[in-house]
Each structure stands twice: as C-alpha cells, then as structure tokens.
Amino acid sequence: MASRSMFLRILWKLLGASRGRLAVALIALTSGAAICSALLNVNLDAERKLTQEFRTLGANVVIAPPAGGSEAALADASVLDRIAALHLLRIVATAPYLYVAANSGSQPVILAGTWFDQVAKMNSWWKLEGGWVSSRDDREHCLVGFTAARQFGLAPGSAVQLRSGDRTISLTVAGIVTTGGAEDNQILTNLDSAQALAGLSGRVSLVQLSVSGTPPEIAAVTRTLADNLPGLDVRPVRQIAAAEGTILGRIRGLIFWTIALILILSMLGVLASMAALAMERRRDVGLMKALGGTVPRIMRLFLAEAGTLGAVGGLLGFLLGVVLARWIGERVFGVVISARLEVLPITIALTVGVALAGAFPLRLLGRVRPAEILRGE
Amino acid sequence: MAPLVQVEQLEKRFGEVLALDHVSFDVDAGEWIAIMGPSGSGKTTLINILGGLDHPSAGRVVVDGLNIGSLGERELTRYRADKIGFVFQQFHLVPYLTALENVMLAQYFHSITDEKEASEALARVGLGDRLRHVPAELSGGEQQRVAIARALINQPKVILADEPTGNLDEANEAVVLKLLRDLHDAGHTILVVTHSQAIGNLADRRVELEHGRLARISVPSLAKE
C-alpha cells in the first residue's frame, strides 16, 4: 500500500517535472484523439442516419410470386398481414402493387393499385405536380405518370375513365408524378379500386418493401421473410443494396485509413517529445538503478506516465471530437451527429496505445548503465 | 571472523586500458577505509565494482559473503538495494522530488516506504526542517546530507562515498565529515574515495592506488595516536 502511494507520488512528480515536453505530447495525443473520436462518431451515427436516408430512395426488397407460376403470377393479399405479423422493426414501408391492363378510351394503359401512404414513405424523391393522394382508402383520386399524362392529355383536376373488360372506374387526377421509372407510364390508384376493376379481389402482383440498416442487416431481414413466406420469392433489389453497401463501405474505409494515419502522426509527435525526455531522464534512471531499482520497476513508472498522458489525451480528445463530429455532420452530411458513448473507451484505448508506442525511447532507458551515468559520461 | 569485504587479485580492463591491476585487500566490519591516489589511479572504478555498478574483468570481490563478480544484473540490483549505501560527489538527488521523497525513493526500491522513518533519518542529519524542499532549494552541504540520509535509510552493510566533500565549501565539508565520523562511531563500515589528506587521516586505514595498482596500505598517524 505504501509502495503504491509512493508510486503515485513519483508519477505525479514526473508529470509535473517535464510539463513542457509532456504538454507537447499531450497536444499531439489530444489532437489525434479528437479526430479519431469525431470520425468514429460520424461513422457510427452517419451510417445510421444515411441508411435512414437511403430508405427514401425506393424499395430495396421485393416479394413476388415465383416467375412462371400459374394465375398470371399473383399473390394472395394476405401476405401483407403475414409480413405485419412478423413485427420486423427494420421494415420502414410496405407497398403492395396490383398491375392491371386497362384502357383509357381506346388506348391501353397500366393501372397500378397501391397504398399511397406507403409509396410516399419510400419514394420521397418523386417529383410531383399537383397534389398527392393523402389517404390509403381514397377511391376517387389517382396519380398519373408524367409520360402517361402527356399521352392522355391529363393534368391535375382532370377526370379519367378506365375500363378493363366490362368493368369501369372513374377517377380524378390529383397529381402528375415524375419518377424516372416504370411509374412514368402508369396510372396509380387505390389498391381496392384496381382489384375491383380487374375483378381480382384479395390479389396483388408484388409487394415492395423499404428495409433500413446496413447490407448485412437487410440481408438478415430478407432471410427472415423468405423463411416465413414459403411459395413466394423474396428478393433484394441488388442495385440499390449494392450501391448503399458501396457508399457505406467507402465511408468506413476512408474513416479507418484516416484514423490510422492520424494515430501514426500523433505517435510520431509523442515519439519526438519522449526522445527528448529520455535524454533528460538518463541521469535519473542511472541513479534509480544505483539505488536498487529494477528495470521493470523503473519502466513501470515511465509507462504509467505515458499511459496517464494517453488517458487524459483520449478523454479530452473525445470531448473535442464530439464537437467536431457535430460540425462535420452538419457541414458534410447535413445531419445532427449525437455523441456515442461507446466511442469514449475506444478513443481512450487507442490514445493510450499510441502514447505507449510513442514512449518507446523511454523504454530504451532500461539499458542505461549507472556507472557511466554517475561518472558523468 | 571473516572480513566483511574481500578484494582478491581484482582486475578491470576498459578495452586496452588496465584500470585495476591485481588489487587485493580486506575490510573488516566497522572499519573506515580511505581509498586514495592521484586522478586516474582507479579509485572510482574500484568503488563502482564494490558497489555492484560495474563488473570485474578478473579476480574476486566478496561482500558480506556474496561473490559479486558472479552475480547477474538482477541479483546485482538487489545487492545494491540491500547491502550498499552510495554517497556521490555530485550528490545525485532526483531534482523533482523533495528531500523526504529522495530518501523514500531508496526505501521504495528496497522494500516498502516509511515516511516517518525517512523524516527521522533527515532529522538525524540536521534537515528536519527541510523535508519538503527540492534539491534546488538546498545548499550543496544540505544536498549531500540528504544523500547521506538516503544512503543510510536501508541499513546497508557498507557505505561507499566517492569524494563526498569534493563539491563542498569548508564549513559544509566539516559538517559532512562529522556525520561520517558519527556513522563510523556507530559501527558502520565506510569506504571513502578521497583526494583529501585530512579525510584520509580520519580513516582507520588508507588504501593507496597508483596506475591501477595497490601502492600501499597504511594506518594514518592520527588514527595511530
């Protein structure tokens, strides 16, 4: 106990004795830790926020009957209840579609019946002229794709009558959408209306899902759905999943290599300070050895000094990094990055590691020969 | 009774230079030995080997039954902590530790620290009121007295002093010499390297070296009287 208190007493004096050199090392460590902490916070938080952002870029999982099946490959609408019953929290939006070949006057057009509230959630980037169909149960309005609107001369407020076989429905155009996809050629309406027009009550062509998370998390949801929906194909939309994965992977890679580089630079800063410190401490080490101090016991003091410096640098760097992460989040990603506590131990551990590696010149003091030092060589 | 220190045919080479050439002598427990000789005669080399700071090239050095030539680095470190108290010409105090902590440092490397015992050791050398001062706040004589307190704190078998008054003025030299005399009277074994005839005359015996060889062992006239 007395030895431990003496150890702490010497450690305290060591820290105070070389304030100038240690301050330089501390600045190097704190700067490195601040950037690491900021980037780790950005990595963890921006990844979460970016995956949420990605979910507004369209469906990334599609459930459909197997290709080449009977009944023009239609699925029972009860699949929607079965998906909901799985309570998968990563599913952000679920939009069923029933595609019906209809005619407007004498010209054919594809009518897509869907749930507008869900379509809005997963396609917020669609350009809209006019208004959206706000309710899933609205049977009177429709959205018309940009190309179809030009073809049929439709504008918001126009009336359109659609026919399929001997059934007809009359709709009012709420808005014109530009999607850059197949929807530009379609008319979108309420699912029940489309089912009624086609005489396919309780049937859907496919279900689009928007699933949040990293590529492995999305893959896990896809597997769960496939296991629980036998007889249906559950397919990730490869291009979107791959693009998201690539973006996240590149951000992660950039952050990893930046952190590695910053830590190396910090270590070089510490190394320079410690090399100068080691020269100053040669006489003290020679004396300690002459007094009967073993090399491990003396080195413990210096490594504890470097470790303390690393821990303090790590803590200060973490706090600075939180501020820096907020700034980066707002400026670069346009999101508010919140402090992640799990970054604190990682930052401290990395900084302590860097400080101990940078303290290498102090380890060389173990080779000091007391007789030479005390002779004044 | 076997002598406390036995030096037999001791030889030390630094490359081509023979610093000690077949030196032999014994020291009994409680003796005060002055090691004398001109600069470069091997005095400091001898005391470094006796203190376990350097290895002999040949010959035998036995201190308190331990053949220190046969000890490894770790055992030599333990030997220094257990059996030797050093007093250096340059004092060699740790500049950022107080007088008290400098004494406690020797305790720390020996076994466990005892602040009360360290304070008492400093009080015995007349520094009871300077415990919290760092070396820069102490005079040369005071620093040397801290070094003496540090040398004594672990009750060493032998006190090795290399020119202990070499950096002191006359007044402080007298104080340090009185301390050494008191230690001798208390039964401590002391080996002092010195150029000073006055200190040499205080010793029980003088071991005189010339060019690394033992020139003579004499009993100072003062001691005889």
Predicted pLDDT of residue A313: 96
A97-to-A74, A204, A294, B68, B186 alpha-carbon distances in Å: 10, 6, 78, 93, 105
Instruction: Report pLDDT digits (tens) over B55-68.
Output: 999 999 999 999 99
Instruction: Tell me whether residues A290 and B104 touch, CB distance under 8 A.
Output: no
Q: Which residues contact B107 (CB under 8 A, 6 or more apart)?
A: A6, B113, B114, B117, B118, B153, B154
Cβ of B14 under 8 Å from any chain A Cβ? no
A284/B94 touch (CB, cutoff 8 Å), yes or no: yes
Of the candidates B77, B105, B113, the beta carbon closest to that of A2 is on: B113
On whether any CB of chain A is under 8 Å from the CB of B106, the answer is yes
What distance in Å separates residue B225's CA from the closest CA in chain A? 36
Flag if B105 and A291 touch (Cβ within 8 Å): yes
**d(C-alpha A19, C-alpha A40), whole Å:** 30
Task: Say yes or no: B168 contacts chain A, CB-CB below 8 A.
Answer: no
- Partner-chain residue, chosen from A7, A289, A376, that has the shortest CB–CB distance to B77: A289
Q: Which of A112, A277, A106, A308 is nearest to A191 (CA)?
A: A112
Q: What is the DSSP string of A37-102?
A: HHHHHHHHHHHHHHHHHHTTS--SEEEEPPTT-STTT-EETHHHHHHHHT--TTEEEEEEEEEEEE
Confidence band of B223 (pLDDT split at 50, 70, 90): very low
Q: CB–CB of B86 and A371 under 8 A?
A: no
Residue of B47, B108, B155 for testing the chain A interface, max A β-carbons within 10 Å:
B108
Residues B132-166 pLDDT 10s: 999 999 999 999 999 999 999 998 999 999 988 88
Distance from CA of B96 to the nearest CA of A (A): 6
Mean pLDDT (whole number) for B103-128: 93
Quick one: CA torsion of A282, A283, A284, A287, rounded to 10 degrees? 120
Q: Tell me: the pLDDT tens digits for A252-273?
A: 888 889 999 999 999 999 999 9
Residue contacts between A and B (CB atoms, under 8 Å):
73
Note the pLDDT tens digit of each residue in A7-38: 999 999 999 988 888 999 999 999 999 999 99
| Helices and strands of chain A, counted as H and E runs | 12, 12
Identify which of B80, B90, B113 has the shortest CB distance to residue A292.
B80
Quick one: pLDDT at residue A216? 81
Question: In a mutagenesis test of the B interface, which of A1, A15, A291, A374 is the best target, namely the one with the most B β-carbons within 10 Å?
Answer: A291
pLDDT of the residue at B225:
47
B36's enclosing H/E stretch is strand B32-36
Across B41-107, the runs of DSSP E, i.e. the strands, are 58-63, 66-67, 84-87
Looking at residue A307, its pLDDT comes to: 95
Nearest CA in chain A to B83: A292
DSSP reduced 3-state for B61? strand
Give B80's contacts in chain A (Cβ within 8 Å). Answer: 289-292
Which segments of A204-294 does DSSP mark as H helices, in order?
Answer: 215-228, 238-290
Mean pLDDT, chain B, integer? 91
One-letter amino acid of A116: F
Question: Could you report the predicted ipTM of this complex, rounded to two decimals?
Answer: 0.90
Q: Which residues, including other chains, have CB under 8 Å from residue B33's CB and lie 6 or more apart?
A: B27, B190, B191, B192, B203, B204, B205, B206, B207
| Residue burial B48-71, b: 16+ Cβ < 10 Å; e: rest | bbbbbbbbbeebebbbbebebbee
Residues in chain A with CB shorter than 8 Å from the CB of B92 are 283, 287, 290, 374
* Interchain pair A290, B54: CB under 8 A: no
Collect all residues of chain B within an 8 Å Cβ-Cβ radius of residue A284: 94
Residues counted in chain B: 225
In sequence order, what are the residues at sequence separation of 6 or more whose Cβ sits closer than 8 angstroms to the Cβ of residue A226? Answer: A234
Rounded CA-CA distance A305/A289 in Å is 18
Query: Which portions of chain A are predicted below pLDDT 70?
Result: 1-2, 52-53, 55-57, 68-73, 238-241, 375-377
Name the least confident of A196-210, B110-124, B162-176, B207-221: B162-176
With an 8 Å Cβ cutoff, are B90 and A376 in contact?
yes
Distance from CA of A6 to the nearest CA of B (A): 7
Residue of chain B with shortest Cα separation from A281? B94
What are B37-55's pLDDT values in tens digits? 998 899 999 999 999 999 9
Cβ atoms of residues B143 and A48 within 8 Å: no
Q: Does B105 touch chain A (CB under 8 A)?
A: yes
Mutate to test the interface with A, among B50, B76, B109, B167 (most CBs of A within 10 A): B109
With CA atoms as reference, the chain B residue closest to A298 would be B109
Name chain B contacts of A370, Cβ cutoff 8 Å. Answer: 53
Residue type, A257: W
| Residues of chain B with C-beta less than 8 angstroms from the C-beta of A369 | 53
